[in-house]
Amino acid sequence: MASALENFVNSVRTHSSSGLFEELATHLLECDELLNKNWSILDNVLETLNVSQHSLGVLYVLVAKFNCAANLNLDADAIFTLFKDFIEQCDIYQVQLAAHVYYELCHLFTKKIVTQPSCIYALNVLAAAINQIRSSESQLTPIHADLCKLSLKSKCFKVALKYLDTDITSITTASETRVHKPDPNGDAEYFLLYYYYGGMIYTAVKNFERALYFFEACISTPAMAMSYIMLEAYKKFILVSLILHGKIVPIPKYSSQVISRFMKPIAQVYHAVAIAYATASSEELRAVINKFSETFLRDNNMGLVKQVATSLYKKNIQRLTKTFLTLSLSDVASRVQLPTAALAEKYILNMIKSGEIYASINQKDGMVIFKDDPEKYNSSEMFLKIQQDMDKTMNLIKKINVMEEDIILNPMYVKKAIGSQDEDITCQQAKPYSSDPID
């Protein structure tokens, strides 16, 4: 083993045995180049270190090993085993001292494993990695984006939804421990990807309300320049808005001017879909979809666009319930521009089943009878639901109050607030101009 690597191993073992983990974490910040240069003998280094006792040293070696996986001919199974063993055996206190390296290891693992057919088996391992490093269930880490990415690739959403369903109240970033080389752009990238991938997962499971919230969070993130992630989220935001509300939901006022300056002009095709949708004409909407089909296919949004077209048929059927009490299936098909009465019947039955409309179909004469909402809001189930919603609201208010108190007591906020007050006082006490009429 090269003498430099021997010094690395001795330093890791000595500091670890003495419990000087903070000093070791600082020392290892400069060891990246050394480990990458000696990639061919990193296995020898791992044999001399114990994962639970020397977690910091093993962490840096694994990152170098994963970076050089192509040179080492490491296959997906070997990478999976190394990563899984480390996550299960590592000392979390040591890992927290080099959280940015821990995140990088997870990113490298995801990059190597996402192309494999067996990537579904990595979901639980990444979930364990998140659980170890986060301080609370509502804390967002950069690894959340990796978990969502693997979920989309494997088309298995159960594991990721447990994390997506939890509202975020705090964020941890790699820059917190990467003091010598802060990377705010990298932190922002994984933040945006989490909400973008999360919106895609909710769209896949037809939870459009939650999907819209995630896409909105992505595009309303403060930004000085346009992000490709935000642009793609904006396109999907428009389509989900149409499916859910029949129109484009207004962007929050606190959103960056980047949206109006750059994103809207680039996403004109999607705005054309919204304009056609507003006419309530299925034929006109289909014409726009056919005209720009190449764009939708290139953006991988054709499936979502087709759901927009389907939602227009449903919206038009819902409009009929406000005008008619009874209507024949052929009339329904004609008014909503469906090709056959059988297809109209299929739409109506699906909407009745999902609770989108209240109606019944007389099979003898082919008549549809539209009904009012049977819910009287006086059942024990409805009372329980209202009570649960109130509890959620109260818990949210408590969280907001705690977050507000943390901000008010934050030294940086206090310093900025006092500075603003001093500027206001200075302006008020400024001497009047010689030409001031009050002189």
Q: Note the pLDDT tens digit of each residue in 357-400.
A: 999 999 888 899 999 888 778 888 888 999 999 998 998 899 88
Q: Which residue did the predictor score with more confidence, 263 or 235?
A: 235
360: part of which helix (H) or strand (E)? Answer: strand 359-362
Is 9 within 8 Å of 45 (Cβ atoms)?
yes
Please name the amino acid found at residue 7.
Answer: N
Mean pLDDT of 274-295: 96
Q: What confidence category does residue 423 fall into, taking pLDDT thresholds of 50, 70 and 90?
A: low
Q: Measure the CA–CA gap between 340 and 2, rounded to whole angstroms.
A: 78
Mean pLDDT of 196-207: 97
Q: Residue 381: how many CB atoms within 10 A of its CB? A: 7
Is 157 within 8 Å of 205 (Cβ atoms)?
yes
Mean pLDDT of 279-303: 96
User: Which residue matches tokens 């998140």?
Assistant: 130
- State the sign of the Cα–Cα–Cα–Cα dihedral 308, 310, 312, 314: negative
Mean pLDDT of 147-176: 92
pLDDT of residue 18: 92
Give CB contacts under 8 A, 24+ apart, made by 396-400: 396/167, 399/169
Nearest CA-CA partner of 92 in 148, 135, 139:
135
pLDDT of residue 335: 93
* 329-366 tens-digit pLDDT: 999 999 999 999 999 999 999 999 988 999 999 988 88
Mean pLDDT of 405-416: 87
140: part of which helix (H) or strand (E)? Answer: strand 139-140
Q: Residue 433: how many CB atoms within 10 A of its CB? A: 9
Q: Measure the CA–CA gap between 82 and 63, rounded to whole angstroms.
A: 11
Q: Which residue did the predictor score with more confidence, 29 or 157?
A: 157
Is 232 within 8 Å of 196 (Cβ atoms)?
yes
pLDDT of residue 178: 63
pLDDT of residue 428: 58
Residue 438 has pLDDT above 60, yes or no: no
Give this prediction's pTM. 0.87
Is 54 within 8 Å of 13 (Cβ atoms)?
yes
* Bridge partners (DSSP) listed for residue 171: 140
C-alpha dist (Å) from residue 211 to 38, 109, 240: 46, 27, 8
User: Which residue matches tokens 């329980």?
Assistant: 384
Mean pLDDT of 38-56: 90
Is 74 within 8 Å of 65 (Cβ atoms)?
yes
Q: What confidence category does residue 69 fall into, taking pLDDT thresholds of 50, 70 and 90?
A: confident
**3-17, 64-78, 111-125, 149-163: which has the minimum mean pLDDT?**
64-78
Mean pLDDT of 103-115: 94
pLDDT of residue 425: 58
- Mean pLDDT of all residues belonging to the chain: 89
Residue 320 has pLDDT above 50, yes or no: yes
The pair phi, psi for residue 328, each rounded to 5°, is: -75, 155
Q: Residue 9: how many CB atoms within 10 A of its CB? A: 18
Which segment, 42-56, 107-121, 146-160, 243-257, is predicted with the most confidence on average?
146-160
Q: What confidence category does residue 72 fall into, taking pLDDT thresholds of 50, 70 and 90?
A: low
Percent of the chain with pLDDT over 70: 92
Is 344 within 8 Å of 336 (Cβ atoms)?
yes
